[in-house]
Copies of this chain bind each other. A is one copy, B any other.
Amino acid sequence: MNRLEPTDPAALPPIKVALLGCGVVGSQVARLITQQSEDLTNRVGQRIELVGIAVRSLERDFGGLDPELFTTDADALVSRGDLDVVVEVVGGIEPVRSLVLKAIEHGASVVTANKALLAQDGETLFSAAERAGVDLYYEAAVAGAIPIVRPLRESLVGDEITTVMGIVNGTTNYILDQMTTTGADFADALAQAQELGYAEADPTADIEGFDAAAKAAIMATLAFHTRVRGADVYREGITQVSAADIAAARKAGCVVKLLAVLRLDDAGRVSVRVHPALVPDSHPLAGIHGAYNAIFVESREAGRLMFMGPGAGGSPTASAVMGDLVTVARNRVRGVAGPGESVYAEREIMPMGEVETRYLVRVEVTDEPGVLAACATVFSNHNVSVQTVDQTTAENTDEQVAVLALMTHLARESDLQAVVAELGTRPFTRGPVAVIRVEGK
């Protein structure tokens, strides 16, 4: 057959797709497969046919979709044996993990948005896919509509990525934004976010940083070609961020963001962490508001790249799922699978104590001569070099108290923790020592 004489793609057998989950994301995926049918056929080279949708309950609004498509028997759906692609937008670990493995065993490629599952047990899934010769794609699992998986996995694969730093959770970014603009404290900002639907009824995964840590693990595995699991990620959420922290940040010309920070050091070790951090107003990440996400990538050859866009939401996430679906379907049409994981380096994951960053340390001290010097000595005792000091008199106190805000140069986390411990033992210290890390220049 002359390859330039195109056959009518609509006449060829279809690419059969099953959808697991039809919630916020799944319902949009189903809509797009149905609505864009003709364009998809042209882009893929064969028709995409949605053959079944697994959900928990059939008592539902079918949203214009054929009710016949729906089933509560996900197991039977993935075991049909004639599926080309299974799109998993249920979420969580089980039963999804077993369903995905079963789909792969039955020869289907998989597209998923499930960061929790990939960060916990990506290894099992990727090696099952590799063994079966099928694809496992997951662009939607990190930062919603922002293409970040492909850039890390393909565009930068001939380069050496040294830093990835990003805002990858919209809920926490929205809450911190609210705290910054209205001066609200964490609890009020969270309640408001829940009311407006930006935060879920159980917000733990977002506010405790589990969601961001899962995304950080996925990105680190891609960027550094080494296995990083969610549990390997140092993680602090935003529940401890106070209105006072936000005010101190403003005073230092910074905003507070929940950042995922991934670094490769010169010795080839990686550090992967998620925590609130001060970001200077002049840094592009400081300008990312509300539910938007943004990711900075720095590599030896390409330099500094940045990607931004909607980090969640039904339609944006469905856009990313659809991009994967078309890519995987195109592979099916040509009878091939895309490249698998590239995890060959066995890199050491640095303990948090060895990580270096900058810090803003706030401490209430008795307002007496010599206290500043004594305080500075505590820092130098532990090799932490102070860049700037801001001293103010505290309001509403009985005794004469000053608040010192000390910004450090780069310092080791363990050294900084030693400073905090020693400050706590000093007689001039009047309250708990507040520490926030500082990232970005």
Q: How far is the CA of A318 from the CA of B300 in the complex (A)?
A: 11
**Is A308 in contact with B310, judged by CB distance below 8 angstroms?**
no
Q: Does A352 contact B (CB under 8 A)?
A: no
Q: Select which of B130, B316, B325 is within 8 A of A302 by beta carbon.
A: B316
Partner of A157, one of B43, B151, B225, B284: B43
- The reply on A301 being an interface residue by CB < 8 A is yes
Which chain B residue lies CB-closest to A139?
B155
Which of A4, A301, A336 has the largest count of B CB atoms less than 10 A from its CB? Answer: A301
A40 contacts the other chain (CB 8 A): yes
Docked Cα-Cα span, A139 to B302, in Å, equals: 13
- Contact status A301-B319, CB under 8 Å: yes
Docked pose: A101 CA to B137 CA in angstroms: 33
Within A24-59, the residues touching B (CB, 8 Å) are: 28, 32, 36, 39-40, 42-43
Q: Does A116 contact B (CB under 8 A)?
A: no
Given contacts A145-B303, A304-B310, contact A151 B154 (CB under 8 A): no
A131-B3 Cα distance, complex, nearest whole Å: 6
Bound-state CA distance A21–B273 (Å) is 42
Given known A158-B40, A323-B156, contact A318–B301 (CB-CB < 8 A): yes
Whether A239 sits at the interface, judged by CB under 8 Å, is: no
A195 proximal to B (CB < 8 A): no
Chain A: interface residue total (CB-CB under 8 A)? 63
Given A4-B130, A316-B303; A154-B323 close (CB under 8 Å): yes
In the bound complex, residues from chain B placing their C-beta under 8 Å from that of A327 are 154, 157, 339
B contact residues around A336 at 8 Å (CB) = 334, 336
Tell me the complex Cα distance, A127–B345, Å: 38
Does A147 reach chain B (CB closer than 8 Å)? Answer: yes
In the complex the two chains form, is A159's CB within 8 Å of B225's CB?
no
* CB of A238 closer than 8 Å to a CB of B: no
Complex Cα spacing A310 to B146, Å: 19
Cα A287 to Cα B284 in complex, Å, equals 10
Q: Is the CB of B302 within 8 A of A320?
A: yes
Q: Which of A240-297 contact B (CB under 8 A)?
A: 284, 287
Residues of B within 8 A of A133 (CB): 3
Q: How far is the CA of A434 from the CA of B98 in the complex (A)?
A: 67
Knowing A36-B158, A150-B155, A309-B305, say if A130 contacts B3 (CB, 8 Å).
yes
CB distance from A264 to the nearest CB of B (A): 12
| Interface residue? A385 (CB, 8 A) | no
Task: Give the complex CA separation of A147 and B330 in angstroms.
Answer: 21
For the complex, what is the distance from the CA of A299 to the CA of B42, rounded to whole Å? 18
- Please tell me if the beta carbons of A309 and B301 are within 8 angstroms of each other in the complex: no
- How many copies of the chain does the oligomer comprise? 2
By a CB distance below 8 angstroms, the chain B residues around A323 are 154-159
Chain B residue with Cβ nearest A305: B309
- Whether the pair B301, A159 counts as a contact (CB closer than 8 A) is no
Mark out the residues of chain A between 9 and 29 whose CB falls within 8 Å of any chain B CB in the assembled complex. Answer: 28
Partner of A147, one of B4, B139, B155, B319: B155
A322 within 8 Å of B (CB atoms): yes
B304 A307 Cβ-Cβ under 8 A: no
Q: Is the CB–CB distance between A131 and B36 below 8 Å?
A: no
Chain B residues whose C-beta falls within 8 Å of the C-beta of A345 in the assembled complex: 42
Contact between chains at B131 and A28 (CB < 8 Å) = no
Most chain B beta-carbon contacts within 10 A, residue among A43, A130, A139: A43
Q: How far is the CA of A345 from the CA of B40 in the complex (A)?
A: 12
Q: A337 — nearest CB in chain B belongs to which residue?
A: B334
Would you call A65 an interface residue if the criterion is a C-beta within 8 Å of the partner chain's C-beta atoms? Answer: no
Q: Chain B residues near A139 (CB, 8 Å)?
A: 155
Determine if B305 and A43 form an interchain contact, defined as CB atoms under 8 angstroms apart.
no
Hey, what's the 0/1 contact readout for A139-153 against B, CB within 8 Å counting as 1? 100000111001100
Q: A4-B127, A156-B319, A158-B321 are in contact. List 18 more A-B contacts (CB 8 A).
A: A3-B133, A42-B342, A145-B303, A147-B150, A147-B151, A150-B151, A154-B323, A155-B323, A157-B323, A159-B319, A301-B316, A301-B319, A302-B309, A302-B310, A305-B309, A331-B339, A334-B337, A334-B339
Q: Which 9 A-B pairs have the closest CB atoms?
A: A158-B322, A147-B155, A145-B302, A305-B309, A301-B319, A302-B319, A336-B336, A42-B344, A147-B151
